[in-house]
């Protein structure tokens, strides 16, 4: 049975690989972009596009309520093309704002729309220093400083809001470093994950998984990945046929 899904961040690296997977699985997808020039590309992928900014609380709320979603997926980021190192410093603060204020707005909109599940993108390299590999119950690096501190505090804010968003079931996908089509990278440092496999984890989380966090990465020595494999049925080697 297909669900009505509201995908925030449809034009991002994961969003563009997720929309076809959702559509092929029979789901009805409304996907957001901040740029009207990207709307037709979202339609071509199989989604109903909506142009909205996550910081526009009223506009976002209206868009989500109009879509009547059963599931809301949060794949919003604000990162420079190709993860340009020269621009990552300024991008960290913008991305942290999306993870904090943007997530808060999305949670409020999802509740107002009567959604029952919220799936959100996080990262798997935000754990506090300690014995590896890190499992999902290990603490995040709340004492981090500088640019890492900004990023990790954004992650902590996002995860707290998603996982305490009852009556919504909150699912957090802690992705590895992305590589593959649209990511700007052909390979990535551990923990790594291909964009197709990252998107597939979100598809699987639509129907599976209790509230909680899941490390989503290829086998590595930094984080455990067994929970996503056993509870979501996720495979690190998943690739789209097109």
CATH number at residue 35: 3.40.50.720
Structure tokens at 206: 């639509």
> Is 152 a residue whose pLDDT tops 60?
yes
Structure tokens at 42: 């979202």
Q: Identify whether 187 is part of a domain.
A: no
The size of the chain, in residues, is: 242
Q: Identify whether 192 is part of a domain.
A: no
Q: Identify whether 125 is part of a domain.
A: yes
Give the model's confidence band at 90: pLDDT under 50 very low, under 70 low, under 90 confident, else very high: low
Q: Taking the model in full, what pTM does it have?
A: 0.96
What are the pLDDT digits (tens) for 12-69?
A: 999 999 999 999 999 999 999 999 999 999 999 999 999 999 999 999 999 999 999 9
What are the pLDDT digits (tens) for 182-198?
A: 998 999 999 999 999 99
Listed in sequence order, the residues at least 6 apart from 118 whose beta carbon sits closer than 8 Å to its beta carbon are 71, 72, 73, 74, 106, 107, 110, 162, 165, 168, 169, 170, 171
Q: Measuring CA to CA, which residue among 111, 131, 26, 14 is closest to residue 69?
A: 111
> Is 88 a residue whose pLDDT tops 60?
no
| Rounded Cα–Cα distance for residues 146 and 126 (Å) | 13
Q: Identify whether 157 is part of a domain.
A: yes
Q: What is the pLDDT of residue 87?
A: 56
Local structure of residue 140 (DSSP, 8 states): B
Listed in sequence order, the residues at least 6 apart from 175 whose beta carbon sits closer than 8 Å to its beta carbon are 14, 121, 122, 123, 124, 193, 198, 201, 216, 217
Q: Identify whether 97 is part of a domain.
A: yes
* Helix, coil or strand: residue 170: strand
Listed in sequence order, the residues at least 6 apart from 3 whose beta carbon sits closer than 8 Å to its beta carbon are 27, 28, 69, 70, 71, 206
Domain count along the chain: 1
What's the domain range around 45?
4-175
Give the bridge partners for 28, in sequence order.
4
> Is 168 a residue whose pLDDT tops 80?
yes
> Is 79 a residue whose pLDDT tops 90?
no
- Are 120 and 74 in contact by the 8 Å Cβ rule? The answer is yes
């Amino acid at each position: 049975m297909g669900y009505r899904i509201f995908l925030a961040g449809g034009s991002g690296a994961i969003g563009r690989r997720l929309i076809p997977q959702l559509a092929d699985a029979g789901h009805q997808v409304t996907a957001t972009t901040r740029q009207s020039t990207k709307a037709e590309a979202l339609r071509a992928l199989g989604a109903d596009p909506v142009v909205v900014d996550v910081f526009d609380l009223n506009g976002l709320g209206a868009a989500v309520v109009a879509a009547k979603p059963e599931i809301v997926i949060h794949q919003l980021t604000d990162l420079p093309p190709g993860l340009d190192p020269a621009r990552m410093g300024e991008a960290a603060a913008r991305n942290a704002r999306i993870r904090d204020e943007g997530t808060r707005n999305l949670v409020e909109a999802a509740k107002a729309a009567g959604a029952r599940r919220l799936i959100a993108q996080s990262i798997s390299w935000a754990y506090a220093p300690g014995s590896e590999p890190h499992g999902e119950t290990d603490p995040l690096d709340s004492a981090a400083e500088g640019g890492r501190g900004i990023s990790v505090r954004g992650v902590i804010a996002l995860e707290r809001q998603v996982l305490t968003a009852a009556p919504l079931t909150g699912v957090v996908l802690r992705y590895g470093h992305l590589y593959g089509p649209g990511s700007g990278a052909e390979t990535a440092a551990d923990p790594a994950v291909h964009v197709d496999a990252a998107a597939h984890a979100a598809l699987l989380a639509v129907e599976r998984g209790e509230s909680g966090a899941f490390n989503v990465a290829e086998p590595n020595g930094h984080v455990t990945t067994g929970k996503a494999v056993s509870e979501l049925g996720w495979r690190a080697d998943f690739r789209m046929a097109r």
